[in-house]
Structure 1
Amino acid sequence: MSKKLVIKVTAGADAPERCSQAFTVAAVAVASGVEVSLWLTGESAWFALPGRAAEFELPHSAPLPDLLEALLAAGTVTLCTQCAARRGIEAADTLPGVRIAGAQVFVSEIMADGVQALVY
């Protein structure tokens, strides 16, 4: 049985500690060889856009652009369909490697065997 971790992050600059925790856990899991799927929802949706992670600051935390780069290189990063639409974000606007998908795909991922899910 393979192990997969699905993380849904709802926080962005509005709740920086919660946001940073989600990205840090996801990046550490990827570095540990775990298959990771990170879902950007709510205010974290903005991080699907080029340059937005670089605007995020939280003292004593890893730089968000570095964490996001690691996740894009070795994991899956998904932008919520409805969250993107509410913010006027289209697929052509996002960073390379970010996919846009909805609740059906999220539910499918978290219901698979061997999956652990976290929401931040």
Structure 2
Amino acid sequence: MARSLVIKVTAGADAPERCNQAFTVAAAALASGVPVSLWLTGEASWFALPGRAKEFTLPHAAQLGDLLDAVLAGGRVTLCTQCAARRDMTADDLIDGVRIAGAPTFVEEVLAEGVQALVY
């Protein structure tokens, strides 16, 4: 059984290096053939909205919008239910392919056999 990776990113523009690292690891894992589920929580929640990832810049780092596009193309991206509600986001506001789910779904994913979970 192949291992999979669940990445929860809590940082956004408030901690740009940590944020970009989470997206970079997710995209690199996918490129290596690893199944990836990326969870957007806290300040990273804003990247579920169209155009927000493209606005994010960090010197000497891959463009966040490109990394998010890669994860959307080959993995799964989830926005935290509570985080979405606190920011008045609904499914209609989100980038195509981003789902909204809560703690029970996250727990189910990270406790599945063969899963490695990382939190940034």
Q: TM-score range by the shorter chain?
A: over 0.9
In the alignment, which residue of structure 2 is the partner of 1:89? 89
1:74 aligned partner, one-letter code: G
Aligned residues: 120
In the alignment, which residue of structure 2 is the partner of 1:111? 111
Cα deviation, 1:65-95, whole Å, max 9, x if unaligned, reads 1000000000000000000000000000000
Distance (whole Å) between structure 1 residues aligned to residue 30 and residue 86 of structure 2: 29
For structure 2, list consecutive stretches of 5 or more residues without a partner in the other structure: none
Find runs of 4+ consecutive structure 1 residues off by over 3 angstroms. Answer: none
SS of residue matched to 2:88: coil
SS of residue matched to 1:47: helix
1:59 aligned partner, one-letter code: P
SS of residue matched to 2:22: helix
SS of residue matched to 2:96: coil
Alignment of 1:55-70 (within 5 A): 55-70=55-70
Once the two structures are TM-superposed, the CA of residue 2 in structure 1 deviates from its matched residue by: 2.1
1:92 aligned partner, one-letter code: D
Distance (whole Å) between structure 1 residues aligned to residue 2 and residue 101 of structure 2: 23
Distance (whole Å) between structure 2 residues aligned to residue 53 and residue 112 of structure 1: 29
1:54 aligned partner, one-letter code: K
Once the two structures are TM-superposed, the CA of residue 3 in structure 1 deviates from its matched residue by: 1.1
Once the two structures are TM-superposed, the CA of residue 54 in structure 1 deviates from its matched residue by: 1.0
TM-score by length of 2: 0.99
